[in-house]
Amino acid sequence: MALRATAVGKPRRVPVVQHLPGVGQNLQDHPGFGCVWEYEQPLAPRNTGCEATYFWKSDPALDTPDLQTGQGEFPFSSAETAARFDLPEFGWALLAGVVRPKSRGHISLTGPDPTDPVQIQANMLSHPDDLKAAITAVQLCREIGNSAALRPFAKREAMPGNLTGAELERFIRDAASTYWHQSCTAKMGHDAMSVVDGTLKVSGIEHLRIADGSIMPRVTTGNTMAPASSSANAQPSFSRPSTHSDIAQQGIRMAGRGSDQHLTGRDCGLNGEQSLDRAA
């Protein structure tokens, strides 16, 4: 929201310096849904508390996985589900996530003062396909969590249990939480809703670039820290004079060393394409 507070975008009661209607729009995040089991023997969280994950497809016909689940060594819940379910003091969770969401939210100012609160409309699960994928994600978590392989570690399934239909949908909406991957509100591209170009430069503003997760046109299929850090690491090279050919050759590694997820000059929009990654 720094752009809007400085009169870039569609600021609220602030004189406009550059009209960029995409500022604050296109908000994306990975919604997560905690499924919880009670430990057979109490165990305290160790190390990071979440060190296992998997990717899966909600539909075999999809080109790439659209689900990601993280295993947590604690009984993860939302305030709403904690009030409804008998959660254990010691438990573990499978946090089902939708990582190719179609829902879009927005961020806006509530006033011209920098200290005025920011209004965030996440719009999670507003697209029906996201709800459909979330149902599959939770069902898969239950299948794995209740499997014979994990039975020695589970005294009971605490949440959600064998819910179907409207009750399962209610659980998913109550359980929906952020994966803390909020991004895409100053997207890269060349259309009317784009904010930065392929060199991270804010359209129409000299000497101003953005180098964080907000520049992604679409949230990555997985965690966002490495892509955001890669954008920041690339920014100094973009600040120097460079040709489109130079940018296309260098590329930006998007998901850390040893990964095949990357952002190239083509993805920077040099030929109009804006896809940021392709999960293996």
Residues forming the active site: 181
- Count of CA atoms in the C-beta half-sphere (13 A) of 231: 27
Q: Does residue 251 contact residue 238 with C-beta atoms inside 8 Å?
A: no
Handedness of CA 231, 234, 235, 239 (dihedral sign): negative
Q: Does residue 4 contact residue 109 with C-beta atoms inside 8 Å?
A: yes
N residues, the chain: 280
Closest CA to 211 of 2, 21, 11, 14: 2
CA 40 to mean position of chain CA atoms: 33
Determine the residue type at 209: R
Concatenated DSSP letters of 56-82: E-SSTTSSS--EEEEEESS----HHHH
φ/ψ of 181, rounded to 5, equals -120, 35
Which structure tokens are listed for 88? 């254990």
Beta strands 154-159 and 18-19, pairing class: unpaired
Whole-angstrom Cα distance, residue 34 to residue 92? 10
